[in-house]
A and B are shown apart, each in its own frame.
Chain A
Amino acid sequence: MRPSLIGAAIAAAILLAVGFGFPWLKIPLILAFCYGMAALGIGVLLRAGQISFGHAMYACISGYTVAFLGSRFPGLDGLLLIVLGTAASIVAGMLIGAFVVRYREIFFGMLNLALSMVLFTILGKFYAYTGGTDGLRVNRPTLLGMDLSRPEFEGALLVLAILASLAVIWAVQRYFRSSAGQALAAIKTNETRLEYLGVSARKLLWQGYVLSAALCGLSGSLFGLSQGLVTPEMGYWLRSGEFVFIAILGGSGHAVGAFVGALLYEFLKMYAAALVSGAWQLVLGATLIVIIYFLPKGLVGLFSRRRSAVEGQP
C-alpha cells in the first residue's frame, strides 16, 4: 500500500474515533468537512490563478435544492438528495461558468460575487418559495432506506462526509495530475502560450469551474442536511470569503490542504471565537496576512517543501 493511502486511512480513523468518542464534536467535524470540500473547490480555481468571491452560491443552490425536494417529496432518500443537490449545483455551474470563464482575475471574482448577491437577494425576497430570510427547514430523510434518530443520523452523516472527502481528495488529485489539470495551472502561468499550444483556455477553465461548483454543491447539501436548516446566509459573500480564507490557509498545492485548513479553521472558530468574540474578524484578517507572508503555499506548502528538499526536486 502507498504511504499516502495509509495516512489517509489513519487520519480518517482518528477523526471517526474523535467524532464517536466525543458526540458533541460530530457536528463541528461534519461542518469542517463541508468547509473543506468547498475550499477545495476554490483551490481548483486558485490553481488557475483565479479567485471567486461568490462560490457560496453553489453551496446555497444545492442546500436549497435538498430542502425543497426533501419537503416536496418526503420519501426521497438522503443519499439521493445529496446527489440531486450536487447535480443542481453542477447544472448552475455549467450555465454560469459558460459566462464567467471569459473573464480573469478581478472581473472573474467580482462577477461571481455579483451573481451570488443576486441569488442571495432573490432567496431573501421571494418568501412564498424560499421562506425569505428565515430559510427552509430540511426534514431528516432516511439514509439508504434506514430511518435514523438524530444522533444516529449525525453519526451516519459524519461517516458519509469522511468517505466523500476521501473520494473527493483522490479525484481532485487525479485531476490535478491529469493533462487537463496541468494545463489548468498553465492558465495562471501564461495563458497566451497555452493558447498557442492549441488548448482552449476558456474550455479548461470551464471544466475547472464546473468541478469547483460541484465540490461546493456537495458541501452545501451535506451542510444543509447536518444543520436541518438552509438560510440565504449560506450564499452570502462572507461565507464565500470564509471558503477563500480556508483555501489559502490550507494551500492549493495538494487537495488535502483544503481539509487541513478547514479542520484548523473550525477548531479556531470553536475556541478562539469565544475568547475574542469582538475581534474575530481582526484575528482572521491578521492570520490571512501572516499566512500569505510566511506561507504563501499554505499549510501543505510546509510538507511539499520538505519533501522536495529530500528528493532534490524543485
Chain B
Amino acid sequence: MTRDILILALLDGVSYAGLLFLVALGLTFIFGVVRILNVAHGSLYACGGYAAATLGLWLGGGTLGASLAALIGASIAVGVVLGTLLMLLLRRFQDRDPILQLLVTFGAFMIFEDLQRMIWGTQPYFVADVVNQMGTSEVLGVVYMNYQLLFVPGAAIAIFALLQWFLKHTLTGRQIIAVTHDREVATAMGINAKRIAYLTFIVGAMLGSLGGALASPTTSLVPGIGADMIVLSFAVVATAGLGQISGALLTALMIGLARSFCVYLYPELEVVMPYVIMVLVLLVRPQGLFTVAQARRI
C-alpha cells in the first residue's frame, strides 16, 4: 500500500463520513423524540439528491451561488414536504405496536421508491457543477476536490455544532431534550410535545435530504441509493446507540474510514464492512457504544 493510496482512502473516508453523519443524525434525532426508527429516511436521502440535481439543472448552475442555492433549497423543500407527509401518516398510528409503526415507515419507503422511479426514471443523474466550481487543492501530494475535502466535512461539523448549540442553549432545544428524556413528565411540565415532535421530525427529515443533496454532485443517482443509505445509516445509529448525537459523529467517522479503506484494499468486503463493525460493537456493548444504561420500566 503506497502513501498516496493511504491518503486517498483517508480523504475519501472523511468525506463519506460527513455525508453518513448527516443522514444518521437525522435518523437518530427523530428516534430520540418520536421513538420511531424511520425507514423512509432513505427515501428522504434519495429524494433530496434527485431534487438537488433537478434544481441544479434548472438553475443552470452558472455560478457557485446558484449551485449552492440548489443544494440547500432542495434539501429544505424535500425535508419540509416529505417530512410533513410522513409525520401526518405516522400520527395515525401513534398508539400502535412499535413494530407496526416501523412497518408503516417501511411501507412508506416502498411507496417513495416507486414514486421516485416514476418521476426521475432509472437513468443515472449526475450534476457536478458545484464540484468543479470549488476547484481542487493538493494535500500531501494528492490532488483532491475542495468540495469533498472541505465543504462536505465542514458542513457536517458546522451542522453538528449548530445542533448542539440549539439543543443546549435555546428554549425549544431544551424542550426537545426534555421530551427525549421523558415525554410524560415533559408534557406535565407544560411542554407541547406534539409541536416538539413535529419540529424534530422536520429537522431530522431536512438533515436526511441535505445528506442526499450534498451527495448528489459526487455520486450518480440511481434507484436503490435510498435503500443502501438507510441500511448504512441504521448501522451507524445502532453502533453509536439510538438517540446518541455525538456518538453518531464518531461512529460515522469510524464506519466511513473503514469503508473507504476497504474500497482500496479489499473491495469485496466493502458492502459488509459496516455490518461487521456493527456486529462486533454490539457483541461487546449491546446497547451501542455511547448509550448510558437506562432503568428498566416495569
Check if B286 sits within 8 Å of A288, measured CB to CB: no
Q: Contacts A125-B268, A278-B118 known; A114 to B110 CB distance under 8 Å?
A: no
Residues of chain A lying within 8 A (CB to CB) of residue B234: 110, 113
Q: Decide: A117 near B271, CB < 8 A? Known: A110-B235, A285-B111.
A: yes
A107 to B289, CA, bound (A): 13
Contact of A286 with B111 at beta-carbon distance under 8 Å, contacts A107-B238, A114-B235, A292-B103 already known: yes
Does B229 sit within 8 A of A, measured CB to CB? no
Of the candidates B100, B113, B271, B298, the one whose C-beta lies within 8 Å of that of A193 is B298
B100, B109, B235, B279: the one contacting A285 at CB < 8 Å is: B109
| Binary interface encoding of chain A residues 31-60 relative to chain B, with 1 for a CB under 8 A from any of its CBs, else 0 | 000000000000000100111000000000
B62 nearest CB across to chain A (Å): 35
A residues 137-161 touching B (CB-CB < 8 Å) = none
How many A-B residue pairs lie within 8 Å, measured between CB atoms?
A: 111
Q: Which residues of A contact B298 (CB under 8 A)?
A: 190, 192-193
B283 in the interface (beta carbon within 8 A): yes
Shortest Cβ distance from A283 into B: residue: B114
Complex interface bits, B79-118 against A, C-beta within 8 A gives 1, otherwise 0: 0000000000100110011111011101111110111011
Q: Is the CB of A278 within 8 A of B117?
A: yes
Q: Does B169 contact A (CB under 8 A)?
A: no
Once the chains bind, are B286 and A292 in contact (CB under 8 Å)? no
Contact A289 B108 (CB under 8 A): yes
Interface set, chain A 273-297, CB cutoff 8 A to B = 278-282, 284-289, 292-293, 296
B242 within 8 A of A: yes
Q: How far is the CA of A118 from the CA of B277 in the complex (A)?
A: 11
User: Are A192 and B99 in contact (CB-based, < 8 A)?
Assistant: no
Cα A287 to Cα B111 with chains together (Å): 10
Using Cβ atoms and an 8 Å threshold, which residues of chain A touch B104?
Answer: 288-289, 292
Residues of A contacting B59 in the complex (Cβ-Cβ under 8 angstroms) = none
Write the residues of chain B forming the contact surface with A, with a CB cutoff of 8 angstroms: 37, 89, 92-93, 96-100, 102-104, 106-111, 113-115, 117-118, 231, 234-235, 238, 242, 268-269, 271-272, 275-276, 278-279, 282-283, 286-287, 296-298
Q: A51-B99, A281-B114 are known contacts; what are 20 more A-B pairs with Cβ within 8 Å?
A: A99-B283, A106-B37, A106-B238, A113-B231, A115-B279, A117-B231, A117-B271, A117-B275, A118-B275, A121-B269, A244-B103, A248-B100, A281-B110, A281-B113, A284-B110, A285-B111, A285-B113, A289-B111, A292-B96, A292-B104
Contacts A110-B234, A292-B104 given: A282-B110 contact, CB under 8 Å? yes
In the assembled complex, the CB of B287 is this many whole angstroms from the nearest CB of chain A, namely: 8
The 6 A-B residue pairs with the shortest CB-CB distance, nearest first, are A285-B110, A288-B107, A114-B275, A282-B114, A285-B111, A285-B107
Q: Which residue of A lies closest to B234 (CB)?
A: A110
Say if the beta carbon of A68 comes within 8 Å of chain B: no
Knowing A193-B298, A278-B114, A281-B110, say if A111 contacts B272 (CB, 8 Å): no
Nearest-CB residue, chain A, relative to B100: A292
A241 at the interface (CB under 8 A from B): yes
Contact of A279 among B99, B102, B114, B278 (CB under 8 A): B114
Per-position binary interface string of chain A over residues 250-283, scored 1 when its CB falls under 8 Å from any chain B CB and 0 otherwise = 0000000000000000000000000000111110
* A192: nearest chain-B partner, CB-CB: B298
Partner of B99, one of A105, A111, A237, A280: A105
User: A103 to B37, Cβ gap below 8 A?
Assistant: no
5 examples of A-B residue contacts, CB within 8 angstroms? A110-B234, A110-B235, A248-B100, A286-B107, A292-B93
Given contacts A115-B279, A292-B107, contact A192 B118 (CB under 8 A): no
Interface centre among A105, A113, A289 (most CB of B within 10 A): A289
* CB–CB A114/B103 < 8 A: no
B97 x A296 contact (CB < 8 A): yes
Q: Which bucket holds chain A's interface residue count?
A: 35 or more
Quick check: is A102 within 8 A (CB to CB) of the other chain? yes
**Closest chain B residue, CB of each to CB of A118:** B272
B114 vs chain A, min Cβ distance (A): 4
Bound-complex Cα distance A281 to B106 (A): 11
**Contact in complex: A237, B231 (CB < 8 Å):** yes
Tell me the bound Cα distance from A293 to B93 in angstroms: 7
A193 to B282: give the CA distance in the assembly, Å.
25
- Which residues in B have their C-beta under 8 angstroms from that of A293? 92-93
A117 touches B272 (CB 8 A): yes
Which residues of A sit under 8 angstroms from B92, Cβ to Cβ? Answer: 293
A110→B238 contact, CB < 8 A: yes
A280:B114 contact, CB within 8 angstroms: yes
Which residues of B sit under 8 angstroms from A111, Cβ to Cβ? 278-279, 282
| Residues of chain B lying within 8 A (CB to CB) of residue A99 | 283
**Distance of A49 Cα from B235 Cα, bound (Å):** 21
Kindly list chain B residues whose C-beta atoms are within 8 Å of the C-beta of A103: 282, 286
Given contacts A114-B279, A282-B115, contact A296 B100 (CB under 8 A): yes
A109 vs B234: C-alpha distance when bound (angstroms) = 11
